[in-house]
Amino acid sequence: MLRLREMFLIIRAMRLSVCLRFLPSLCLASLTAYAQGRGGAPQPPATPQAAAPIDITGYWVSLVTEDWRYRMATPPKGDFLGVPLNQAGRDAANAWDPAKEEAAGEQCKAYGIGGIMRMPTRLHITWQDNSALKVETDAGTQTRILGFTPSQRPGGDWQGVSVASWDRQATVMGSGRGGPPPGGSLKVVTSKMKPGFLRKNGVPYSADAVVTEYFDRFDQPNGESLLMVITEVNDPTYLTTPFWTSTNFKKQNDAAGWNPTPCSAK
Amino acid sequence: MFDNKSMVLSTLLMAGVSVLGQAPRSSTPAEESAPGFDLSGFWSPAMHEDALERGGGSEIGDYAGFALNEAGRLWALSYDPSRVTLKHHQCDAYVAPYQMRATGNFRIWEERDPHDQRLVAIHVWAQVTEGHRVIWMDGRPHPPAWAPHTFRGFSTGKFVGNALVVNTTHMKQGWLRRNGTPESDQATLLEYFVRHGDHLTNATIITDPVFLTEPEVRSNDYFRQVVDHHAWLYACDDGEQILDRPPDKVPHYLFGQQPFATEFAKLYKLPLISGVGGAESIYPEFMAKLKTATDAEGLSRFKPVPGLPSETSRAVDPEPHDGQIHVFPIRNNVYMLVGDGANIVVQVGDQGALVVDTGTGALADKTIAAISKLSGKPVQFIANTGFRADHTGGNVKVRRSGMDPSLQGSFFSNQFADAGQGATIMSHQNTQNHMDALKMPAEGIPSDTYLEEHRRKFHNGDSIELFWEPNAVTDGDSIVHFRRADVIVTGDIFTTTQYPFIDLKNGGSVQGEIKALNDILNRTVYEHEEDGGTLVVPGHGYLSNEHEVLEYRDMVVIVRDRVQAMINSGATLDQVKGARLTADYDTRYGSSSGSWTTDMFVEAVYKSLQQSSAARLGK
């Protein structure tokens, strides 16, 4: 019989590639079983709701502590400091005309997927069903559907098509202590949206943009909870590099302060 | 088909995974946390948010989005950026949360125990100011309240869920924003680091009871670089920029006279309240307020609200109040003893202990016991920085602990009849005079006094100097400097707990206090970007360095200037008191009860200035 330490040393010396070379199907089956937890009968796949590593439902309020001037007020035309616009982006921003937007019924351009989370707003997040989250905002009365299953929606609206997944920290492979780590983030990738504004003063994003978001929840020792939404906007039309922001919300106990207001271009 | 070798490997693999998966958990806090992730590498900040603040710098008056209380707002409005021309401010570093927000690149690496590979610490090096943060991951506790503060503070971390959670305490006073928005030395920081691929995000939650009404939440994004940025150094040496500037000049603006207070609002066509809205300005409802706010509402926040009672200190009390004496090593053979009123300093060595101040005396036996553990020899000398009872109350007992029956007396036994009977107590002559006048126990009154500017002594391998400050707190204050250890003991000239006790009846004055603080600053040298170097033991409060003395000096000068300005305009004492001239410092140092209140301090400054004015006029 091999002693425990000898087994340990042998396993440490092995790499996964060794395993796969010799016993691909057995290794895969074993690792899958391991990832699903040891022992017991096979479980049916959990729904996205049941598998949620964090709970982001409820009412949340924006904490406008960054980019205050760009978010609380409408900045002047041409003020796009911090946004990595290319020349086409600068030209578009410099051509911003809010009156024209309103006349064209395009007053929600700053409330689209590229700008809505930066608005001073409250969020109401609920499960629409067990495979889609719904995010409603009182600013601009927008609704986002974050679906965990492939969407048949064509998109083309302000919020586009969002595909959600739970983003967990990678499980240790090899000789480390295994098991899925606790916690995780909600990852949302959005595309197929109508072009809109990153900031209210006409800083543009195009219909070709892809917006990747991570929703992280932090429960503080004082009992308060924060929701941090990390946003990366990739737009080959108007940006030279990805545009990154992280936006913070504080958990509310109820709907206090919920104040639906229509979009405004000014 | 499987061959035998494959079967053995397969079996071992499964068994190994199972065994390792069931490995018992370690009991150390670090091991009880989530598995963790690697933050190591080179990181560049994405400056897409608050690009102006983090780049060129925000306008004066732009405090929007900060939950500043009145004190924080007024502190910021009083700030003159020329203050950084002062020698000692030139190399001010950034406090931890501002450091994480600064421009410049970062390098992060792990420190692991070479024997068991446990994660000991995560190091973060910031290019700007050579900011080096150490996040301890080994479960060690935070230091006590009397331990020194640094710009980066003391940080401990733990992996929770998918985040690295970091708690930071013991930070120095610094910036929330580089335009004068203050963060106090009482602030604490809670951080969450999350990593999504090559994107690292750091959420910072600053709690500051002195300047904020609610925690300040912000977040910073970084992207990973695959190559070394280089240029990690940020050398800073200070030097006087304005050679004929008087040493008691600190650039600042009187309340209501900040010339740039409205610049932010006017530049961006915003209501005046925009930059000074406090906590309200953080929430969506403020958008509606911006539409209706009047100029008067904004202007009313540019100076203290009249008629309000003075705020009191919200600082953590650094005294343990547990009936015990706590020994804190300072440097070399010098220790700080905390617990019996004023701080006590003990220097030990072959020649026996030299003690600076003896506390109230209520815990004198425990003080002596603590000294005995540090030094097996009788106490040789006691130096008193002043005469007040919280500094000299233990003189009698501590002196007796210096009794040495083996000593056969002195050649000058007629003059020094007490040779071998106890420690020798030193002080300035005026301190002895005050103690005589108060009829303090004769045995505890200094017998070895000096009249000149300073007294020197070489003891236990260190050069020790006592400097007389002729009219600071009183007319008999001494500052004690251990030159080799580079430790300065200030007595009540400097504390981290209250406004300076200026005892006019016993020869104190505000001008003398400022001079004394400047004399301390003339002796100190920082180690790196205003951290470390010469260590300063305050009369009360936590072990400091020149930065705390500097901020304290600035405060005394600024309050003096405000009082002087009102005197110049003919104000009475009551009018001065009613003007709330210390409103931006009261949440840090203020008191409405006890032996030294804010009112008493303001009155002392007022009368002190009147006296010096009268003296100048020959009245």
pLDDT digits (tens, 9 = 90+) for B398-417: 999 998 877 766 665 555 55
| CB contacts, 8 Å: B47 with chain A | 82
CA R_g for chain B: 28
Alpha-carbon gap, residue B174 to B151, rounded angstroms: 7
Residue B20 confidence (pLDDT): 33
Specify the 3-state DSSP secondary structure of B606. helix
Between chain A and chain B, the number of residue pairs with CB atoms below 8 A apart is: 207
Beta carbons of B35 and A19 less than 8 Å apart: no
Q: Which of A11, A61, A179 sits opposite B283 (nearest CB)?
A: A61
Residue among A75, A159, A227, A166 at smallest CA distance from B270: A75
Does the fold of domain B326-616 match that of domain B41-56+86-225? no
Specify the 3-state DSSP secondary structure of A215. strand
Beta carbons of B10 and A27 less than 8 Å apart: yes
| CB contacts, 8 Å: B285 with chain A | 257, 259
User: CA torsion B27→B31→B32→B38, rounded to 10°?
Assistant: 180
pLDDT tens sequence across B219-239: 999 999 999 988 899 889 898
Q: Which of B2, B23, B219 sits opposite A23 (nearest CB)?
A: B2
Q: What is the mean pLDDT of residues B118-147?
A: 96
Q: What is the mean pLDDT of residues B288-308?
A: 93
| CB contacts, 8 Å: A260 with chain B | none
Predicted confidence band of residue A17 (pLDDT cuts 50, 70, 90): very low
| CB contacts, 8 Å: A52 with chain B | none
| C-alpha distances in Å from residue B344, one per residue of B173, B317, B361, B497, B528 | 25, 17, 11, 16, 27
Residue A2 confidence (pLDDT): 43
Alpha-carbon gap, residue B355 to B336, rounded angstroms: 10
Residue A24 confidence (pLDDT): 44
Residue B6 confidence (pLDDT): 43
Q: Which of B9, B46, B160 sits opposite A14 (nearest CB)?
A: B9
Beta carbons of B49 and A66 less than 8 Å apart: yes
Predicted confidence band of residue A171 (pLDDT cuts 50, 70, 90): low
Alpha-carbon gap, residue B531 to B152, rounded angstroms: 9
| CB contacts, 8 Å: B282 with chain A | 63-65
User: Which 8-state DSSP code applies to residue B388?
Assistant: -
Residue B387 confidence (pLDDT): 98
pLDDT at position B589 over 70:
yes
Q: Which residue has the higher pLDDT, B9 or B530?
A: B530
- Average pLDDT across chain B, whole number: 92
Beta carbons of A66 and B65 less than 8 Å apart: yes
What CATH number does the domain located at B41-56+86-225 have?
2.40.128
Predicted confidence band of residue B140 (pLDDT cuts 50, 70, 90): very high
| C-alpha distances in Å from residue B511, one per residue of B136, B139, B311, B519, B609 | 44, 47, 25, 12, 8
Q: Which of B2, B17, B220 sits opposite A178 (nearest CB)?
A: B17
Residue A31 confidence (pLDDT): 41
Residue among B182, B298, B262, B187 at smallest CA distance from B558: B182
Q: Which of A53, A62, A72 sits opposite B290 (nearest CB)?
A: A72
Nearest CA-CA distance, residue A231 and chain B, Å: 10
Alpha-carbon gap, residue B215 to B183, rounded angstroms: 12
Q: What is the mean pLDDT of residues A168-176?
A: 63
User: CA torsion A67→A69→A73→A76, rounded to 10°?
Assistant: -110
Nearest CA-CA distance, residue B529 and chain A, Å: 27
pLDDT at position B53 over 50:
yes
- The residue whose two tokens read 């959420």 is B203
Specify the 3-state DSSP secondary structure of B559. helix
Alpha-carbon gap, residue B51 to A6, rounded angstroms: 57
Residue B614 confidence (pLDDT): 76
| C-alpha distances in Å from residue B528, one per residue of B84, B131, B134 | 17, 10, 15
Minimum CA–CA partner of B55 in chain A = A82
Range B546-579 burial, b when 16+ CB lie within 10 A, else e: bbbbbbbbbbbbbbbbbbbbbbeeebebeebbeb
Predicted confidence band of residue B211 (pLDDT cuts 50, 70, 90): very high
Residue A180 confidence (pLDDT): 61
| Backbone phi, psi, residue B82, to 5° | -65, -10
Domain spans, chain B: 41-56+86-225, 326-616
Interface test with A, best of B217, B222, B263, B264 (most A CBs within 10 A): B217
Nearest CA-CA distance, residue B68 and chain A, Å: 12
What CATH number does the domain located at B326-616 have?
3.60.15.10
pLDDT at position B17 over 60:
no
| Backbone phi, psi, residue B586, to 5° | -65, -35
Domain spans, chain A: 4-29, 58-168+183-252
Beta carbons of B194 and A4 less than 8 Å apart: no
| CB contacts, 8 Å: A81 with chain B | 51-52
User: Which 8-state DSSP code applies to residue B311?
Assistant: P
Residue A239 β-bridge partners: A85
Alpha-carbon gap, residue B326 to B374, rounded angstroms: 12
Cβ proximity of A160 and A192 under 8 Å: yes
Cβ proximity of A137 and A131 under 8 Å: no
How do strand A58-62 and strand A243-252 relate by DSSP bridges?
antiparallel
| CB contacts, 8 Å: A122 with chain B | 284
Residue B419 confidence (pLDDT): 61
Q: Which of A65, A178, A179 sits opposite B65 (nearest CB)?
A: A65
pLDDT tens sequence across A116-131: 999 999 999 999 999 9
Predicted confidence band of residue B421 (pLDDT cuts 50, 70, 90): confident
Alpha-carbon gap, residue B268 to B287, rounded angstroms: 15
Helix axes B4-21, A24-35, angle to 10 degrees: 10
pLDDT tens sequence across B489-519: 999 999 999 999 999 999 999 999 999 999 9
Minimum CA–CA partner of B45 in chain A = A244
Beta carbons of B217 and A221 less than 8 Å apart: no
Residue B409 confidence (pLDDT): 62
Q: Which of A64, A169, A181 sits opposite B65 (nearest CB)?
A: A64
Cβ proximity of B353 and B404 under 8 Å: no
pLDDT at position B35 over 80:
no
The answer to which of A39-53, B4-18, B85-99, B493-507 has the lowest mean pLDDT is B4-18
Predicted confidence band of residue A153 (pLDDT cuts 50, 70, 90): confident
- The residue whose two tokens read 């691909």 is A24
Q: Which of B21, B47, B203 sits opposite A177 (nearest CB)?
A: B21
Nearest CA-CA distance, residue A67 and chain B, Å: 5
| CB contacts, 8 Å: A27 with chain B | 10, 13
Half-sphere exposure for B95 (CA within 13 Å, toward CB):
27
Q: Which of B34, B196, B203 sits opposite A218 (nearest CB)?
A: B203
Alpha-carbon gap, residue B442 to B283, rounded angstroms: 64
Minimum CA–CA partner of A167 in chain B = B196
pLDDT at position A39 over 60:
no
Residue B479 burial class via C-beta count within 10 angstroms: exposed 0-12, middle 13-18, buried 19 and up: buried
Beta carbons of B64 and A69 less than 8 Å apart: yes
Beta carbons of B13 and A122 less than 8 Å apart: no
Nearest CA-CA distance, residue A165 and chain B, Å: 13
Residue B584 confidence (pLDDT): 98
pLDDT tens sequence across B122-133: 999 999 989 999
Residue A29 confidence (pLDDT): 41
Q: Which residue has the higher pLDDT, B125 or B31?
A: B125
Structure tokens at B177: 């924003």
Beta carbons of B219 and A66 less than 8 Å apart: yes
Cβ proximity of B601 and B586 under 8 Å: no
Half-sphere exposure for B502 (CA within 13 Å, toward CB):
29
Predicted confidence band of residue B321 (pLDDT cuts 50, 70, 90): very high
| CB contacts, 8 Å: A30 with chain B | 10, 13-14, 17
Residue among B143, B61, B77, B72 at smallest CA distance from B588: B72
| CB contacts, 8 Å: A177 with chain B | 20-21, 23, 35
Q: What share of chain B has pLDDT > 90, as a percent? A: 86
Q: What share of chain B has pLDDT > 70, as a percent? A: 92
pLDDT at position A229 over 80:
yes
pTM: 0.91
Q: Which of B46, B50, B161 sits opposite A244 (nearest CB)?
A: B46
Beta carbons of B217 and A63 less than 8 Å apart: yes
pLDDT at position B295 over 70:
yes
Cβ proximity of B470 and B514 under 8 Å: no
pLDDT at position B192 over 90:
yes
Cβ proximity of A30 and A16 under 8 Å: no
Alpha-carbon gap, residue B156 to B190, rounded angstroms: 10
Structure tokens at B176: 């929330």
Q: What is the mean pLDDT of residues B86-96?
A: 95
Residue among B225, B224, B195 at smallest CA distance from B203: B195
- Average pLDDT across chain A, whole number: 86
Alpha-carbon gap, residue A215 to A113, rounded angstroms: 14
Q: Write the secondary structure of B63-105 as one string of H (helix), E (strand) and C (coil).
A: CCCCCECHHHHHHHHHECHHHHHCHHHCCCCCCHHHHHHCCCC
Q: What is the mean pLDDT of residues A150-173?
A: 87
Predicted confidence band of residue B241 (pLDDT cuts 50, 70, 90): confident
Q: What share of chain A has pLDDT > 70, as a percent? A: 79
Q: What is the mean pLDDT of residues B98-114?
A: 95
- The residue whose two tokens read 């940025």 is B229
pLDDT at position A9 over 50:
no
Structure tokens at B33: 């946390």
pLDDT at position A12 over 80:
no
